[in-house]
Amino acid sequence: MVVGAGALARPSEPRPELAWGAWGDPANAVDLPESILAPLRDGLGVTRPSPRPPALAEFPLPPAALRPELVDRLAGLVGTEHADSGRAARLRHLRGKSTPDLLRLRAADAAGTPDVVLCPADHDEVAALLELCSAERIAVVPFGGGTSVVGGLEPEAAGFAGVAALDLRRMDALRELDEVSRLAVVGPGLTGPQAEALLGARGYTIGHFPQSYEYVTLGGAAATRSSGQSSAGYGRFDDLVMALRVATPTGMLELGRAPKSAAGPDLRQLMLGSEGTLGVITELAVRVRPVPDQRVYEGWRLPSFSAGTQALRRLVQDGPVPTTLRLSDEAETAVDLARAGELGQAPAGGCLAIVGYEGTHEDVALRREGAAAALRDGGGERAEADAGEAWLRGRFRGPYLRDALLDAGALVETLETATFWSSLERLHGATAAALHEALSAQGSPPVVLCHISHVYPAGASLYYTVVCAALEDPVVQWRRAKAATAEAILAAGGTISHHHAVGRDHRPWYEREIGGLGVAALRAVKAELDPAGILNPGILLAR
């Protein structure tokens, strides 16, 4: 299904750059009102504002390790105008957007800055770059939207001649639209909004809307097993990928002749979630659906997290299944209510569920009626009229609030996990307790919020937001808490990551999760596809 050169359409506008040292569009930055600053100060002891990172022109830039003649040879493969070793390009490809990443920028830490940024135009240029980098032992970091929150863009580059960031933004075409099979063949550098605009003009949608939607690329979503906020209806992104073309230092893989096959193990699954360590995705075919005629989002109040969990399980197991289905625990609901109170909305208790439906008018009406009956049976009642639409309007704004909290001197970060329904409440309690204990033991008692973010017939994911006072070294502070929580997650039967990926941050616990034999099997595959070990070294697997 994956096709060769050519393009059906390309974005009409260049994609926006992520803000330097922060999230998203600087025009959308928020200021915290006194009604939020006061509880931070009086309840959590947040008293030391944190300065933003130095400006790009003033940030300390380490000297490039890569020899100029190698830079020239790499530039010759993509064109000199598409090989940039300037200050701005190098620093903008330094790390991702996790809280530790941003805190290290605020501390003017430039460790891991790539030596050159390369922007290939197609599969052949990627393949040629990988061949040269393998021969010269140049580490390569495949770069999509730069939204990693697990250290996935900071390789362990000791012993390499240098580091090249492989930015796939030029590979942004909608190459083919198969309306019979409802498949779109796309370049890996297309962002979520670009893909939706190109497909929407033809009446289709992918339906993949993670919180990073405005900047995430489709290649990055595949390489990290991303999951969008409407996954209950549309599926995770790895569910949507039907075919892949992958460039490796030793050759090309073309994977996916049919939606399902019994021709041995499905090698598509090997590349999905490989985080740029086994190859570079240069083209992918994804399922699409018609743009829905109607979208309806509403809020429901459930009497407790336990009751809400049972109601969500009933819906996803027995139907009808909404397009979006999520449930905040008591703590997260209370915080959301406090923020809503500033807007004049009446407070209420319990736990808030967001339930969304997308489809034809008839389909939405039928599923909405059936889901409402199931939610009422679980003790639910409709929340204020605007609750669902308010969530929909603000679903991409969380990272902007994080920047404002960091400015105020708070430490705020997220983590997520997943397990089967029978273990979910135990995992919920164990993870929250580990976060409370680990941060309180350091003298920074936190607020810990959680919601069920993605649901499946067999289980669900839990997504945590943590806020506390930042200590003298907040990176060390968080890493200690993260380590203790990772231990608790494994002990409670959860996975170390549901959709954030592994990167460097989760690597020790990932290797424990899959076991020694699993690690050895992945190492054998990497040795075959990437014998020089140049692809994202130290990500996913230890060197």
CATH number at residue 279: 3.30.465.10
Nearest to 390, CA basis, from 297, 308, 324, 326: 297
Same domain, 198 and 276: yes
To the nearest 10°, the Cα dihedral for 381, 386, 388, 392? -170
Quote the CA–CA distance of 308 and 378 in Å, as a whole number: 7
Query: Do the domain assignments include residue 50?
Result: no
CATH number at residue 421: 3.30.300.330
Residue 382 lies inside a defined structural domain of this protein: yes
Residue 93 backbone dihedrals phi, psi, to 5 degrees: -110, 20
Q: Are residues 316 and 274 in the same domain?
A: no
Side-chain-side CA neighbours of 53 within 13 Å: the count stands at 27
Neighbours of 469 (CB within 10 A): 24
Domain range for residue 298? 294-394
Would you say residue 309 lies in a domain? Answer: yes
Same domain, 323 and 427: no
Q: What is the CATH number of the domain that holds 333?
A: 3.30.70.3450
Q: Indicate whether 433 belongs to any domain.
A: yes
The answer to whether position 79 is within a domain reads no
Residues 370 and 430 in one domain: no
Predicted pLDDT of residue 14 = 86
The strand order across the sheet containing 294-302 reads: 381-382, 294-302, 351-359, 324-328, 447-455, 459-469, 410-420
Same domain, 274 and 218: yes
Rounded to the nearest 10 degrees, how much is the dihedral formed by the CA atoms of 74, 76, 78, 80?
Answer: 100
Mapping DSSP to helix (H, G, I), strand (E, B) and coil, where does residue 227 land?
coil
- Pseudo-torsion of CA 257, 261, 263, 264, nearest 10°? 120
Q: Are 134 and 528 in contact (CB under 8 A)?
A: no
* Rounded distance between C-alpha atoms, residue 267 and residue 3, angstroms: 18
In this prediction, residue 433 carries a pLDDT of: 98
Please answer whether residues 300 and 352 qualify as being in contact, where contact means their C-beta atoms are separated by less than 8 angstroms. yes
> What is the block-wise mean pLDDT of the chain (543 residues), using blocks of 10 residues?
70 90 94 90 93 95 96 98 97 97 96 97 98 98 97 96 98 97 98 98 98 97 97 97 98 96 96 98 98 97 97 98 97 79 53 97 97 97 92 92 96 98 98 98 97 98 98 97 98 98 98 98 98 98 95
d(CA 113, CA 140): 12
Say whether both 327 and 306 belong to one domain. Answer: yes
Residue 346: what pLDDT?
42
The answer to whether residue 107 sits within a structural domain is no
Same domain? For 407 and 381 the reply is no
Last residue of a domain, one of 362, 394, 426: 394
d(CA 330, CA 227): 24
pTM: 0.95
The number of domains in the chain is 3
- Residue 191's DSSP bridge partners are 217
Are residue 298 and residue 275 in the same domain, yes or no? no
Q: At which residue do the structure tokens 């209420």 appear?
A: 348
Domain boundary among 268, 290, 312: 290
**339: helix, strand or coil:** helix
